[in-house]
């Protein structure tokens, strides 16, 4: 399995067992520089810290914009779901991309809608960071859109 070498940042590496307790003592050997690293030194997925930091910053900014708070652990707790919550107003999920498109599945929207309680509007935020300036779009259920626009007509 490829991993980023902590010494030369190459992703072409081999996993090797080392020592008598080989099942438990795994080392990685870089095919480019030949140096070895233990799993503690290995960074899983290049840029994962940056991605987490970037996601957290987006959640914090969204919380400020919506007058709420960022949910700790990005909703990993069974009692605190979603990325952002303004109690009684909205519950949001934040995503970003550097690509030209973003794929969104109905299951993600239904999950967010199920997590919103007590009249909270489920808001899905997608930010395109490749645009200049970055563009932000919100996906919401039609009932909330009608509530915001004052148009109560339904198709």
Q: Where are the domains of the chain?
A: 1-46, 48-149
Identify the residue whose tokens are 């020592």. 19
Say which CATH class 48-149 falls into.
alpha beta
**Exposure of 35 by Cβ count < 10 A (0-12 exposed, 13-18 middle, 19+ buried)?**
middle
Does the pTM surpass 0.75? The reply is no
CA-based nearest residue to 102, from 68, 76, 125:
125
pLDDT in tens, 2-61: 566 666 666 655 665 555 444 445 667 777 777 777 655 444 555 677 888 888 888 999
Residue 84 pLDDT > 80, yes or no? yes
Distance of CA 26 to the CA centre of its chain: 29
pLDDT of res. 110:
92
> What token pair was written down for 133?
């300036």
Mean pLDDT of the chain: 79
Does 133 sit behind a cis peptide bond, omega within 30 degrees of 0 on the bond before it? yes
pLDDT of res. 16:
59
pLDDT of res. 124:
95
> What token pair was written down for 148?
């915001």
| 118 or 95, greater pLDDT | 95
């Amino acid at each position: 399995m490829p991993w980023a070498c902590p010494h030369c940042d190459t992703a072409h590496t081999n996993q090797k067992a080392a020592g008598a307790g080989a099942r438990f003592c795994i080392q990685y050997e870089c095919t480019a520089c030949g140096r070895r690293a233990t799993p503690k030194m290995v960074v899983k997925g290049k840029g994962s810290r940056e991605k987490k930091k970037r996601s957290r910053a987006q959640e914090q900014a969204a919380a400020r914009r919506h007058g709420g708070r960022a949910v700790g652990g990005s909703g990993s707790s069974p009692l605190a779901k979603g990325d952002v919550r303004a109690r009684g107003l909205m519950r949001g999920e934040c995503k970003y991309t550097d690509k030209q498109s973003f794929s969104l599945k109905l299951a993600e929207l239904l999950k967010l809608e199920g997590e919103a309680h007590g009249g909270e509007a489920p808001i899905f935020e997608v930010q395109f960071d490749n645009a200049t300036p970055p563009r932000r779009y919100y996906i919401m259920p039609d009932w909330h859109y009608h509530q915001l626009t004052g148009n109560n007509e339904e198709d």
